[in-house]
A = this chain, B = another copy of it.
């Protein structure tokens, strides 16, 4: 059984290494990950230039394939070209920082899992709720549990599970919640600066999502309560609940 592991922090990231340590207890694991950090690339794919692919090593041993592209690229090329047998599961992470609320759309980590779902391969994205240098050991053990859980429930082939883990000692975790994607978004602003050649440039700045006015059954709320959140993610952005009303308006009012 072959698992494909990827992330958006890059092939040498600690979170990916922790994932590999745990998951390789259950399955053969192939790492196909970005050559350099790809945070916030969302579901970008590379179509106007070729993908350079390099066999990466660590401590003299083959580590995996480093792809000069995005997490979604890694999943596509990993499944279609680099893996020598069918991929049973794609696991993306462990991300340094939560992927909840609106950030799910910007997340390379989650998009890798979504790409797998599009290709009909079960998948899991896993993130740890801290930006500090982190202890990934509990999240990695939980990823292993989740992987077994998914392999037992094959009906989830077209759904990616987005898992977020609180960055607290295992004993302090308050439980597991199945959640929906929240609507929390960072409060953002742009800082304007001038370079030495008098060109204007801007840094995107902002604070993390707050759960103010967030639904209690969302990923953001669960994480704030100290719970692990599991959100099923699908590749359909249609706003179904307004389809009928919109069709009616278009028929009668679009002149």
Contacts and interface: CB of A to CB of B under 8 A. Distances in A.
Contacts of A54: 199
Interface string A182-217: 010100111011000001111110000000000000
A238 B231 contact: yes
A49 B134 CA distance: 24
A61 B190 CA distance: 27
B204 A45 contact: yes
A149 interface: yes
B77 A202 contact: yes
Interface stretch (A18-26, A88-96, A100-108, A166-174): A100-108
Contacts of A203: 50-51
Interface in A37-93: 37, 39-48, 50-54, 72-73, 76-77, 80-81
B44 A44 contact: yes
Given A45-B42, A190-B77, A234-B238, A52 B243 contact: no
19 contacts: A37-B48, A40-B47, A41-B42, A43-B43, A43-B105, A51-B190, A51-B203, A73-B204, A76-B190, A77-B204, A81-B202, A180-B238, A230-B246, A230-B250, A232-B242, A233-B239, A234-B237, A234-B239, A235-B237
Interface of A: 37, 39-48, 50-54, 72-73, 76-77, 80-81, 102, 104-106, 111, 114, 118, 145-146, 149, 152-153, 156, 159, 176, 178, 180-181, 183, 185, 188-190, 192-193, 199-204, 230-240, 242-243, 246-247, 249-250, 253-255
